[in-house]
Structures are given as structure tokens and as C-alpha cells.
Amino acid sequence: MSDPHVPVEHRRLLELLSPGLREPDWASIGVLSALLDNRLLFGEEGLAASQLEPLFGAWWSDRSLVETVDRLQQQGLLTVRPGQVYSVPAAMIQPLASVLATLLNRREVSLPKWSGSPAELLSAFDTYCLQELSGPTPAKDLPCLWGGAAYTSANRTHLLLFRPFPLCLQVHSEHYILLICQWPQNGLEAIVAQFVERPSLRQRVALYDLGRGQKMNLTRSGLFVHFERFLRWTYGLRIVPSPELTQGLINAGLLVLEKA
């Protein structure tokens, strides 16, 4: 079934990633999303298999990264360079960004007092920022932005990105990044390990699972605090720290909880 909101020239891509009325191939979408962000947001030329494998296995323990990549290569959606380095062909970057944004926006966001699309949630947060806050303002002119929104606050850019299954947690030198995603049922320790082992990740990147009502956020982003307040006051969703991350930090000696 064709989607009238997708340009005709992009519908072949949509059919490859979400054939017919079936559930989209989220493993393939996860790989392509990581490669697009690597190119558009971080300005790099590709990701090695070793950078994708740990989190790919956390979400899809029954799938093979190599087989997924082989199929995407056969479809012309990515290239493989020596050393198993994957990248999106230059001609496919903008079409893929458009199609993936469409697929991401089809995932329903269900909150205690509301349900709707990611775009509707971010639009409501835009309105909240403009009406309730004097600091954060939406930033609309980032060429790297797809599947999310950007805000300027305290002379910093803060990105809120819907990435249901992020496969590579990269750190931007200038921006704070909040990834709204669905944490794996099993294998969450792979994500916790990266936060424990990488101080730069803890300082710049946050992961929120709205379904769980939990966060991994050790950044000093005031914008992310405003987003949490917006979710609680507007939709009745309270976000609490991930107990798995808290325990991981305690085990590594990075956090000490004082007894009452």
C-alpha cells in the first residue's frame, strides 16, 4: 500500500524496509539509522562492524548483523569497505533520511494521558517551550536533523531524537543528545557498560525509554530536565533513573549512595 505522504521516488525504499502492511524491518532500520547519524550528525564516513555488533546483539539476539548488512548491500542501501566498515552511499543519504523519518513517525507514543506520533509529541514540546519557558527555543536550521528536534538553550544545542533501537552511542563535541528509544528486554547490560566505561558518553548523551518511564541521563542538560517536566505535567509520565545504570555505577565505584 502506497503512502501519499511519501514522494513517489522514495516509495521503493519504503517498500524495501516496510513491505506491504507488515511490521518494518527494525533491525535494518537500526543499522541504517546509525549510519545516517554517523554521516549527517557526526560528519564521519562509516562505522565498523565491531561498533554495531554489541548493541545489535542486545536487541536482536536471534538475528545476524552480517546477514542484515548483506541484504542491505544487495538492495543498494549501504556499501561495505575493507575492514567491514559500513556506510550509506552518498546518493541514498537524503532519500533514506526522509523514508526513515516517515517510518519512525509511524510508531505510536503511548503515555498515561495521551497517545500519538513522535512528531506530535515534539510539536507539543515546541509549544511548551515557547509558552512556558523563556530560555529554550526550537532550532530549525540544522542540516543534520532528521527524526527528531533541536533546541538552543544556555548557548548549547540539545537534540531530542527518536531512535527506537540505537546501535552506536556516539558523542558529539558540541551538542547534547537525548535518544528516545525502546530498551532491550534482555541485554541491557551492554548499554549500561558503555555508560560506565565512557565518561564522555555520560556527559553528553541520555537515553529515555518512555514505555518504561526510565532514563539513563547523567548530563547537565537543563533542556532534558524541562522535557521531563513537560512529560510529567502535561501527560502524567514520571521519568525515573534506570536501576540497572545506578547499580552499574555503584559496582564500578562511580556512585556512592549514602544510607539514611
**Do 86 and 155 belong to one domain?**
no
Same domain? For 123 and 229 the reply is yes
The whole domain housing 214 covers 108-251
Termini Cα distance of the chain: 59
The answer to which of 123-127, 205-209, 237-241 has the lowest mean pLDDT is 123-127
Q: Could you tell me the pTM of the whole model? A: 0.93
Which domain CATH number covers 57?
A: 1.10.10.10
Could you say which of 55, 88, 103 is where a domain stops?
103
Residue 54, domain member (yes or no): yes
pLDDT tens column, 52-90? 999 999 999 999 999 999 999 999 999 999 999 999 999
Asked whether the predicted pLDDT for residue 186 surpasses 60, the reply is yes
118 backbone dihedrals φ, ψ, rounded to 5°: -55, -40
Is residue 3, in this structure, part of any structural domain at all? Answer: no
Residues 195 and 232 in one domain: yes
**According to the model, what pLDDT value does residue 12 have?**
83
**Same structural domain for residues 46 and 85?**
yes
Nearest to 14 by CA among 102, 91, 78: 102
188 found inside a domain: yes
Q: Determine how β-strand 156-162 pairs with β-strand 175-180.
A: parallel
Q: How is residue 169 written as a grid cell?
A: 552511542
- Residue 5: the pLDDT is 58
What is the distance of C-alpha 61 from the center of its chain? 19
What is the pLDDT, as a whole number, of residue 1? 42
Residue 62: its pLDDT value, please? Answer: 93
Instruction: State which of 64, 81, 103 marks the end of a domain.
Output: 103
Q: Do 119 and 211 reside in the same domain of the chain?
A: yes
Asked whether residue 2 is domain-assigned, the answer is no
Domain boundary pick from 45, 72, 103: 103
Residues 21 and 143 grouped into a single domain = no
Give yes or no: residues 163 and 231 share one domain.
yes
Angle between helices 118-132 and 222-235 (to 10 degrees): 100
Q: What is the count of structural domains for the chain?
A: 2
What distance in Å separates the CA atoms of residue 135 and residue 152, rounded to the nearest whole number? 8
Kind of pairing between the strands at 109-111 and 148-153: unpaired
Indicate if 72 and 121 belong to the same structural domain: no
Are residues 98 and 214 both part of a single domain?
no
